[in-house]
Structure 1
C-alpha cells in the first residue's frame, strides 16, 4: 500500500472521501485514502456474501491502526445528506452501488465520482449517468495500463487461475479466446506464455471446429447474454463434449451451455456485467494497485488536472446524455 501511494503520487490532502468499507483485499480502499492525507474518509458498509459490517470494520481498522490513520476513517451504515454535501470524491464501489440520482443530486457541484476501473468498462446500472451529466459531475475512470498501476498485466494470470481452478493445466491445452475488447493482448499473452495453444476470436460466430479444451469468454457485456442459446449450440458443434466455457467477462447462459453438453466455470452465476473472477483471487496486489489508481485519477480531476491519453484519468463521456 505504501509503495502504491508513492508510485502513483496519490495526494488526497484536504479532501473528504466517501467510499465503501469492505472485507478482504477491498478493505484497503478507505485506508489508502487516509494514508494519502485525506482530511476525512467515510466508509459505507453493509453485510453481504463477503462478510458482515462488523467484519469490514474490524479488517479496516486492523490495517489503519498501525499506520496511524484510524482517526480519520468513519464507518457508516447509513449515508446522511450532510455526508454527501461534504465529500469531494465518491467511489463507485460495491456497497455504494448503484449511485442513484437522489444521491448524486445531493453532491456538491465540484464533486467527482471515481469509477475505479477503465472508462470503457462503464456499466449504466452502476450509476445514473444522466444525473451526473445534468449536474456536470465528472465520472472518472482510471488508466489501468499506466505504469504506476499496470493492472492489465494481472489479467493473464487471472485467466490462468480460472483454468487451473476448473482442472485444466493450461500447458498444452487448446484454448479458444473469445474477446472483442482491450483485454485481448494481456489475456492472450498470459495464456500463451504458459504453453497454451491459443486462438483468438472476436465473436462466438467466428469460432471454427477443433479439439478445444476450453473457451475463455471475455466479451463486452450487453443487454442480453453474450453466450445464449444460438451461441451455445455453435460452440457445442465446434468442440468435443465436455469442453469448458470459462466466463472471464461477459454474461453467459449457464443452463443452455449445460444443455448443449458443455461444462461451465465458474459454476455459480456472477452479477450481470461483472467479471467471473475477482482480481483479489491472485492476491491483494492488483486490488491495491487498482484502488490506488482509481483514487489518483479522481483526485487529479478534482484538482483540475488535464485528462491526457497517457495520464491516470479517463472520463466517461456524456455524449447523448441530457
Structure 2
C-alpha cells in the first residue's frame, strides 16, 4: 500500500488498531477534511459547466498530462461519462470510448452523455465513440482503463497491445479482482497493471467513504444522529467510514471481523469487507450478527453477504438488490460527480506516470498489482 495516512483527528482509532474501536459524534471528535457531496443524479442533470470545472481542477491538481498518448476507455452514463473527456482535456492524442448496453442505458444514451460533456469541454473532436473495441487500433494504445464497458480485459486484447502499454486499474492495487483482467497475459507481455493511490492528497477519494456509508444508511431509513452503528471492516476503508459516521453524529464502533463484534442495541451494522472467492459473511456469521443485532439494518458497503441466511434470521440487508459479486453495494456516484472525477483523473495519472517511466513509490500516485 502506498502512503496510507489515517485521519489525524482519530488517535483513538490508531491506538486500537481497528479492533473494538468507538468514535463518538462530532462534538466529541473534530472532523477530518470535508468532502463536497451532491445528491445522486442522472448524467443529464449534472451541470456541464460544473463538471468541466471539476475536471479542470482535478487535472491541474494531479498534473495529468496525456499529450501524445492514445487512450482506450469506456463511454458511460452519469458521472462516469467523464473518463474519456478527462483524457481528452489532459491532451490525449486520441481517445477511444466504447459503450455497451447496460442497465444504466443504451449505447446511444452513453454516447450522447459523453458527446454532450465533450462538447461543453471543447474536446469532442479527439474522442471516438464506439460500440465495440477497435481491434485494428489496439497496437497503438498507450493506456487502457479497467472500466465496466471494457471488462473483462481478456488475454486476446492484452496480447494485441504494444509492449509499452499500461493497464490502468482505476482503483487501489489491493482491490484488484482477478476476473477483471487477464493478469497472467499482462505478466507474460511485461504490461504493468497500475493501481491508483486514492489517498494521495491530490486525489483524496477515501474522504468520501464516510459520507458514502452514511448515504447508504439514510437510504435504508436509519436516522444517523444518535444511532449506534457497528462497522465490520478489515481494510483501510474502516477508518474513513468510522470518521464519516461520527461526523454524522452517530456512535460508531469498528470491528475487524464478526468474531470481535459484541451484542448491543445496534441500529445498524455496516459491512465493508474485502471480497474473496467465498462469502465474506457466510450463513454462520450472518446468524451470529442477527443474534447480536436483531433489530439492526445490515448495510452492505462491500463484501459478499449470504442474504438468504439473514432473511431466514429475520434480518434485512440494504440495498435490497444485491450488488454483483465483489462489487460495492453503493457507488461513489451516489454522492455526485466529484469523487468520480477525482478517481478517474487519479487512475489516468497513475497509469501515465508508469507509462512515462516513473516508479511506484510509497505515497506516490501509482501502485503496482
Provide structure 2 residue ranges, at least 5 long, that are not aligned to the other structure: 1-54
Match of 2:210 in 1: 156
1:162 Cα deviation from its structure 2 partner: 0.4
Does residue 8 (structure 1) correspond to residue 58 (structure 2)? The answer is no
Taking CA–CA contacts closer than 8 Å with sequence separation of 6 or more, which of the two structures ends up with the larger relative contact order?
A: 2
Of 347, 350, 362, which residue of structure 2 is paired with 1:297? 350
- The C-alpha deviation readout for 1:89-117, integer Å capped at 9, x for no partner, is 00000010110011101100000000000
Of 154, 169, 178, which residue of structure 2 is paired with 1:124? 178
In 2: Cα distance, 1:267 partner to 1:228 partner: 18
Match of 1:251 in 2: 304
- In the TM superposition, 1:73-152 aligns within 5 A as 73-152=127-206
In 1: Cα distance, 2:323 partner to 2:147 partner: 16
In 2: Cα distance, 1:80 partner to 1:289 partner: 27
1:47 Cα deviation from its structure 2 partner: 0.9
RMSD: 0.8
1:279 Cα deviation from its structure 2 partner: 0.3
Of 328, 334, 337, which residue of structure 2 is paired with 1:284? 337
Match of 2:125 in 1: 71
In 1: Cα distance, 2:260 partner to 2:210 partner: 22
In 1: Cα distance, 2:134 partner to 2:127 partner: 16
In 2: Cα distance, 1:197 partner to 1:156 partner: 13
Match of 1:25 in 2: 79
Secondary structure in structure 2 of the residue aligned to 1:314: strand
1:209 Cα deviation from its structure 2 partner: 1.0
Question: TM-score with structure 1 length normalisation?
Answer: 0.96
Match of 1:319 in 2: none
1:164 Cα deviation from its structure 2 partner: 0.5
- The C-alpha deviation readout for 1:41-91, integer Å capped at 9, x for no partner, is 000111100111111111111111122210110011122332211100000
In 1: Cα distance, 2:301 partner to 2:322 partner: 12
Secondary structure in structure 2 of the residue aligned to 1:169: coil
Of 230, 246, 255, which residue of structure 2 is paired with 1:192? 246
Does residue 307 (structure 1) correspond to residue 360 (structure 2)? The answer is yes
- The C-alpha deviation readout for 1:96-140, integer Å capped at 9, x for no partner, is 011001110110000000000000000001111111111110000
1:311 Cα deviation from its structure 2 partner: 1.0
Paired residues, number: 315
Match of 2:19 in 1: none
- The C-alpha deviation readout for 1:12-69, integer Å capped at 9, x for no partner, is 0000000000000000000000000000000011110011111111111111112221
Match of 1:275 in 2: 328
